[in-house]
Amino acid sequence: MVITMEIVKLREDIYYVGAVDWNVRSFHGYTTNRGATYNAYLIMDEKITLIDTVKAPFGQELLERIAEIVDPAKIDYLVSNHVEMDHSGAIPAVMEVAKNATIITSEPSGLKGLQAHYGSQYKYQTVKAGDVLSLGKRSLTFVATPMLHWPDNMVTYCKEEKILFSNDAFGQHFASSKHFDDEVDLNIVMQEAEKYYANILMPYGKQANKAIEIVRSLPLEMIAPSHGVIFRSHIEDILDRYSYFCNGENEAKALVVYDSMWHSTEKMAFAILEGFKRAGISCSLYDLKENHISDIATQVLKAEYLVVGSPTLNNNILPTVGAFLTYMKGLSPKGKKGFAFGSYGWGPQSISNIQKELEAMGVELVQEPMKINYIPTKEQLREIEDRIAGVQ
């Protein structure tokens, strides 16, 4: 069911015309427990301009919202900051109505991606970093942000209004009936911004750092991302958080992530937890049966230690642990230390397999794999504690 909301004005003749997805709970394999938004923005000028669209199922809502302001057929420019379909999915619906519109996209990746998705029948105009598009009273300057998080990504800056249309950068999967940072709980916004960064942008910290440098050089009164709330009162706060996310520095905390069949590996996990505590290192425990990998990824972002455990199942690791390691390898966390652990029956392959995966991920291995046959004794668990307590 489509839920229609009132038109939201950012500035005189600049409007939010996107859509709120209250019920989505999964995005690219991570949980969106607070829903999501697909933000699009309409600028009324001599050249009527739509910046980004929405996910395809919300295309009609987008057009209806635009129609409250102007006939969508009068759109002159459609700026596509990013090809991914949560932003571009409604391009066919918009272009069906706005038949004379020109799609503005990055050169060359944006053009290649949009044509691969939607065909070459539309009128396209490519732009590169520094190009300026005049709308009349206003202009748009395009800033390339490749691999944040696709090769085609760019952001769009309106210098006359001091607004940055930042696409995925500074976004959050957060559904709300309010659209500005000073209208909602900022703590929740920042939590979701961190989760978004950890699960989408973590592999691209260097690119994010460069983008922040560019953004800080711009006179800014508003950051309007393509997901979540628009920043107008807490711009420095979100820029500072992003600087913290991507500065490459980890905190003295450890994560123990595991799954267990008959609690033996779990007992080892608790012993490792106690060892870190004795070493004066803050530590958290995550059972993969109870915790989603995307929530754990948010904690991995700034943790110094990542320790992973599994018993052996059919000469391999448990599927939950395999999924976690695959997810982490894709996110490519930097500067981590860790090791593998687990109990086993007649084959200890799981522990060495985890150790290899951690090493392939770039984790510095600070302990030999910890293996215990069947059920650990109190003495063995105490030995684990003692080993970990010596880790500095």
Where in the sequence numbering do the catalytic residues fall? 28, 82, 84, 86, 149, 168, 196, 227
Reduce the DSSP state of residue 106 to 3 states and report it.
Answer: strand
| Residue 234, preceding peptide bond in cis (omega within 30° of 0) | no
In this structure, what DSSP letter does residue 250 have? P
> How many Cα neighbours within 13 Å face the side chain of 1?
2
Terminal CA-CA length for the chain: 54
Q: Cα(11)–Cα(5) distance, rounded to whole angstroms?
A: 18
- CA-based torsion, 343, 345, 348, 353: positive or negative: negative
> How many Cα neighbours within 13 Å face the side chain of 260?
23
> Between helices 186-196 and 293-300, what is the axis angle to 10°?
90
Q: Give the count of beta carbons closer than 10 Å to the beta carbon of residue 29.
A: 14
Residues, the chain: 392
| Exposed/middle/buried for residue 139 (C-beta within 10 Å: 0-12, 13-18, 19+) | middle
